[in-house]
Amino acid sequence: MSHSHGHSHGHKVYPDAKSALEGVQDGMTLLFGGFGLCGIPEHSIQALRQTGVKDLICVSNNAGVDNFGLGLLLQTRQIKKMISSYVGENALFEKQYLDGVLEVELTPQGTLAEKLRAGGAGIPAFFTPTGVGTLVAKNKESRMFHGKEYILEESITGDFAFVKAWKGDRFGNLVYRKTSRNFNPVVATAGRITVAEVEVLVEVGELEPDQIHTPGIFVQRIFQGHHFEKRIEHRTVRKS
């Protein structure tokens, strides 16, 4: 009995990042959780680099740093277009954009979060006051509500979404840890296929239901990563 129960939930479990990427192809739109280098799906990013897929449209709050995170895919020129809100830590990103080899769609951070959340909720577009009267509003429909101007923003969904969680069970229920939650919950809802890498993989029933941040219904594939790096972009310490 326990065997069949485990099997019914275990089909989401993959042995590693490489196997969990099955079906990723050139030109796809890929969504990534994380903020800076915190809570990024680093194993999935490294495996993507090894597959050599190219012409990718990548949606992420930022593009990592030069030699880690999405910066690894910029090095190999696998990204055609970045949709992100912050790009300040990556010199290679800046150079490729200025050289015209990388398309960039800068999106206000709250708008990006809502584009992903709305996409995951099946809402195709929404009106927001953010960006009215700026370059962000260019070529976008605007409307007045209660005497205030709003612009129409289209939602975002992806062919694949990649997230990182602290704990997950074999059914794909996820628990994030502290600030590494960041963009991961909204990204997890917005992928046609969502791949979660976790530090700890547990059996179904071991996670407290009230503590689950992303329900397993949103996660199609899960694997346990090993040797996660805890990198920090800028370490600021007090002088002793």
Residue 60 resides in a domain: yes
Answer whether residue 127 shows pLDDT above 60.
yes
Residue 196 resides in a domain: yes
**For residue 238, what pLDDT is reported?**
74
158-169 and 148-154 beta bridge pairing:
unpaired
Other C-beta atoms closer than 10 Å to the C-beta of 5 total 12
**For residue 100, what pLDDT is reported?**
93
Residue 105 resides in a domain: yes
Answer whether residue 163 shows pLDDT above 70.
yes
Residue 134 resides in a domain: no
Answer whether residue 9 shows pLDDT above 50.
yes
Number of structural domains, the chain? Answer: 1
Residue 135 resides in a domain: no
Q: What is the CATH number of the domain that holds 55?
A: 3.40.1080.10
3-state secondary structure of 42: helix
Task: Round to whole Å and give the CA distance between 184 and 120.
Answer: 12
Residue 148 resides in a domain: no
Residue 138 resides in a domain: no
Average model confidence (pLDDT) for the chain? 92
Residue 110 resides in a domain: yes
Range of the structural domain that residue 215 is part of: 12-124+156-224
More confident residue, 224 or 7: 224
CB 116 within 8 A of CB 187: yes
- Of 86, 116, 29, nearest to 69 by C-alpha is 86
**For residue 234, what pLDDT is reported?**
60
More confident residue, 20 or 4: 20
Beta-bridged to residue 102, according to DSSP, are: none
Q: Is the pTM of this model over 0.75?
A: yes
**Using one digit for the tens of pLDDT, what is the confidence trace for 167-213?**
999 999 999 999 999 999 999 999 999 999 999 999 999 999 999 99
